[in-house]
A and B are shown apart, each in its own frame.
Chain A
């Protein structure tokens, strides 16, 4: 069994279960063993109520939770700026799990793509 640092313990529990619904992006699958769905509201280009659902190991769930905390109140472009290497360091994620972080990154990018695709709609509302 992996050992986990304190940050994993802190962020694994109590993730935001109520998330916004303006934007949505997902990556991975059950078959891959990692599946991350990110969603958020956006108001005037600012992210609100960022949340996620995940079928993933404790490291990735904790990383998801930390990312959602980071995104709250930031411009939508922040979805593209999350660096897996920083998360890997913060949560002491073993190198063999680095690929799982890329799935989180892909989900965030998909969420940003949704923002771009729906830009006019969101602006109109």
Chain B
């Protein structure tokens, strides 16, 4: 159970508490029990650190059927997305300057694409259907002879919708177009196999899966793409793709995180699915409550709902005993309604009055029950106060 200062934490899609088993592995490098060296150093202290990095790379690689040598360590999925989209597109620009992506992608991808537009690339931004799905047929129709990259996230961070990555990967391979997948939300919750799903570039992080913040990877299928244009310079580490001294404790933490996912995925998915469905069962009959996203093709850990007739900020205020994300979750600094929900056809009011529950490894049924009680009370209170007539 994770209750902090009377607040129930149901925002695992934003970040998650570090698993004690991961923390222990990291601590062994922070307190020097396992070492402290620079993996690039040639002496034995450095070699020991390099061995730890190599083991962690193997642990990450195993989760996604990659080779350890295909792992590029980054600071997180945002950097991985930047490096994948900008780096791959720039590296292949001689072949073409067209990119295909989806309007509901993470800003790390969308803003990378926007940056590339300032460098002469053209970007086709596909609109998903009202459930958030994009068909491979729609992507096929957007491909052009000069398309060099398709970027589609595995599971959406706001609504949890899961795209058919295998079908899109196959399509891209048929057209010899690079395929990038942001799997920040789906790692350990959905099977990922970069070879079977024909993924050329894959972004992962640790902190959405009970690992440490500040560490991620870009996985490169080196049978398909050996290099991307780097975004950082100096030092030559990681074949120059992402230089800088490797943070061994972070890397060990990510390796341990991914190992736990590999070993425990089936059980964890069952647990999270049950909690997610428990939440939905408790609130689905409230008038004006609708689920955002596809009812079936969605992540086991995310439930996103909109509420008619209530104002979004008041809904969040009334739910102050819950740490949940709102329709402006990714835009909390500017207060704008979620662009993801608007892409699905939700109105600004519906997008603002939306709540994302995301459960994780340490969530419990008792927490879900309390969340349901709080949500029901908040919605009933605000709807009773509202001049808006609620259908149903």
Q: Please list the residues of chain A having a beta carbon within 8 angstroms of any beta carbon in chain B.
A: 1-2, 4, 12-13, 15, 17, 26, 30, 33-37, 53-58, 61
Contact = CB atoms under 8 A, between A and B. Distances in A.
Contacts of B314: 12, 56-58, 61
Given A30-B349, A33-B349, A55 B313 contact: no
B259 to A, nearest CB: 36
- Ranked nearest first, the 6 interchain pairs of A and B with the lowest CB-CB distance are A58-B317, A57-B313, A53-B387, A37-B387, A55-B386, A58-B314
Interface residues of B, number: 18
A34 B310 CA distance: 10
Interface in B293-351: 309-311, 313-314, 316-318, 332, 348-349
B385 interface: yes
Main SS of chain B's interface residues? helix
A55 B388 contact: yes
Nearest to A37: B387
B384 interface: yes
B372 to A, nearest CB: 20
B164 to A, nearest CB: 35
Contacts of B332: 1
A12 B317 contact: yes
A4 B317 contact: yes
B317 A55 contact: no
Contact of B386 (A4, A33, A53): A53
A34 B311 CA distance: 8
Nearest to A65: B385
A54 B316 contact: no
Contacts of A54: 385-387
A51 to B, nearest CB: 10
A100 to B, nearest CB: 10
B385 A57 contact: no
Contact of A57 (B311, B349, B381, B388): B311
Contacts of B318: 12
Contacts of B311: 33-34, 55-57
A53 B385 contact: yes
A13 B382 CA distance: 10
A25 B332 CA distance: 33
A12 B316 CA distance: 12
The residue among A1, A13, A55 with the most chain B CB atoms within 10 A of its own CB is: A55
A1 B316 contact: yes
Residue among B314, B349, B381, B384 with the highest chain A CB neighbour number at 10 A: B314
Nearest to B312: A57
Contacts of B313: 1-2, 57-58
A55 B386 CA distance: 5
B391 to A, nearest CB: 13
A2 B310 CA distance: 17
5 contacts: A1-B313, A35-B388, A53-B385, A57-B311, A58-B314
Nearest to A59: B313
Q: Which of A1, A4, A17, A34 is packed against the most chain B CB atoms within 10 Å? A: A1
B11 to A, nearest CB: 13
B327 to A, nearest CB: 12
A81 B349 CA distance: 32
A30 B388 contact: yes
A13 B332 CA distance: 24
B123 to A, nearest CB: 32
A4 B381 CA distance: 19
A12 to B, nearest CB: 7
Nearest to A31: B349
Contact of A17 (B310, B348, B384): B384
A47 to B, nearest CB: 20
